Structure 1
């Protein structure tokens, strides 16, 4: 993957154990002007996971699933209603200032920069806030200006920057103090193709060079496929999946596609491989669908033995289809508790 580093280390830097977050709302009772009833909204329910140093984690889920609430608990903005959280060995809610020096945060829809100041001055304020040594600050800023092409608008007030320029500025601000952990909430939302590519390349390089642990929430499936070594999927506050993309695709089934290039146009191929069938024909090229959990080898061998084959390729099911299927099927059921021993 583009974002792969030398590999995650053995150190656990984020630990969540049966974490919950419940918000209390008051709603007026129909027909009664003064009385209101209490409603508990369970934003996060018994979420448990660990993240090792150097991992890039995709934290996925539909709107309202609990992603941003989890991130806010991890950075100490919100306090869990129950459960245990540790980030870099610290309790985020009670050691927030100490933790702030170890982490970076980017919220795609809210800038951390100073709106009326030139971008360069915003970076200077970040340096003072995090007490970054001058030499380290100059070296990092020069490197980020080169990587993210910030030079042409360093002296432009933040309010005059385009969305893509501002996002590159926010990323720079988040990484200036060399954090060991960075949280990104929709970092490519609304960006054009060029800006997205720049953001992904920057994140991949920081992970590769410094083993920075990155946890990002995103609806952009290209972010997931190009950056993430592992994905967590949350829906209705519960964690439904924790693993790599290949496992997610395999677990949820669906179909893969075998694209076959023949020596000459032919009618739709007839194959005996269970579950395989032609879904499209375009001249000498034909597309055959087969179950995602099945091996492609029998189908390939059959076509090679029976037809004049020139080339072939296997296409995995689109990741957006896989994730949508997980959202609609819901989280995996928890295993039943074993009976206590007599």
Structure 2
């Protein structure tokens, strides 16, 4: 059995917030960003860590990586105590923050990889095959000589992921890696991460607001709300527990009367009937079944499926469990 690569034991982090309370007096308030989370992630797992904005995800990651000191509780990452052993831990983990860069802004992208290999004390002979592998897997060759500041967001994010993997970390932490990316860039990145995990056995911890990222990349989900752990289990188990409705929007070749489908509800018609929206619950039917029935009575030109927002999932999960406000 694989040993835990992440261990959280009653992990908490509080912050003091001061705000004006009238006149010259300032009010002092304690905010529990992370509130007694206990969980472990086994080496080789792919785990989604999700929740609404302000739920405590980024604070947890900062404690996992040694950037923040816990207020109480215990955390171990790759067997190390993250704060006192931060330098040693850095050799075992790779981290990508969607809003921050580890690349050298004015240098060509390829030079960042060489510099990072040197920082990790990887010799040129050992580093180059790995760098070449990442360049090929993430299709970076066309813009290796382009300064990072001139890259598109999708190109830069692929570069960020490559930079985090140059030293073959045991744990890869991705914080909103697909934010702002188009569908093609997102899928290219997802395909690479699936292949990388299969080849290297890398453990993945992913925070995202895109449920498609979770569905494609993760076998397990941790849901946090207001700093507390609300759910720990499989994505299928979360879907069954929450069972929020999805919405299938179809564009038809010709206008049509309202289409009715078993297990779905027609919730809207636009463009004189050429566009129709059907909601369905995943515990009663599937998008494929709904689409098949629609296609049986009308020609479908295009379609989209709207997943419930993570905020809605967390809200529903807590309301059914009688969670905190």
TM range (shorter): 0.7 to 0.9
Q: Which residue of 1 aligns with 2:46?
A: 56
Q: Deviations over 1:20-60 (max 9, x none)?
A: 1101122233122xx32321111111111110111111111
Among 132, 136, 144, the residue aligned to 1:142: 132
The correspondence of residues 123-138 of structure 1 with structure 2, limited to 5 A, is 123-138=113-128
Structure-2 change in CA distance of 1:109 and 1:119 (3 Å): same
TM-score (structure 1 length as normaliser): 0.77
SS for the counterpart of 1:141 is helix
Q: What's the CA shift for 1:134?
A: 2.2
Match of 2:204 in 1: 214
Question: What are the within-5 Å matches in structure 2 for residues 139-218 of structure 1?
Answer: 139-218=129-208
Instruction: Measure the CA separation in 1 of the matches of 2:230 and 2:65.
Output: 22
What residue is the counterpart of 1:320 in the other structure? Answer: 307
State whether residues 51 and 311 of structure 2, in contact with CA within 8 Å, keep that contact through their aligned partners in structure 1: no
2:91 counterpart (88, 95, 101): 101
- 1:176-325 paired onto structure 2 within 5 Å: 176-254=166-244, 279=266, 320-321=307-308, 323-325=310-312
Q: Distance in 2 between matches of 1:90 and 1:138?
A: 28
The aligned counterpart of 2:16 is 24
**Aligned counterparts of 1:187 and 1:107: Cα–Cα separation in 2:** 7
CA separation in 1, counterparts of 2:9 and 2:208?
Answer: 23
Mark the CA change 1:153 to 1:61 in structure 2 (over 3 Å): closer, same or farther. Answer: same
**Within 2, Cα distance between the matches of 1:244 and 1:135?**
41
Residues 39 and 256 of structure 1, relative CA distance in 2, 3 Å threshold: closer
1:290-319 deviation digits (Å, cap 9, x = unpaired): 8655699xxxxxxxxxxxx99xxxxxxx78
Deviation at 1:136, TM superposition (A): 2.4
SS in 2 for 1:24: strand
Counterparts of 2:279 and 2:150 in 1: how far apart (Å)?
50
Output the CA distance in 2 between the equivalents of 1:159 and 1:191.
16
Q: 1:28 to 1:208 in 2, by over 3 A?
A: same
1:319 & 1:106 partners in 2: Cα distance? 27
Please tell me whether the aligned partners of residues 221 and 319 of structure 1 are also in contact (alpha carbons under 8 angstroms).
no
Mapped contact 1:20–1:80 kept (Cα < 8 A) = yes
Counterpart residue number, 1:6: none
Quote the residue 1:10 is aligned against: 2
* Deviation of the 1:329 alpha carbon: 3.0
Deviations 1:149-201 (A, max 9, x none): 11111111111111111111111110000000010011011112221122111
Offset at 1:325? 3.8
Pairs aligned (count): 299
Distance 1:87-1:47 versus aligned 2 partners, 3 A rule: same
Matched, 1:73 2:63: yes
Secondary structure in 2 matching 1:178: coil
CA deviation vs aligned residue, 1:91-145 (integer Å, no higher than 9, x gap): 1122111100000000111110011111122111101111113232111111111
Change (3 A) 1:70 1:334: farther
Take 2:83 and 2:23, find their aligned partners in 1: how far apart are those partners? 40
CA distance, structure 2, for counterparts of residue 93 and residue 150 of structure 1:
34
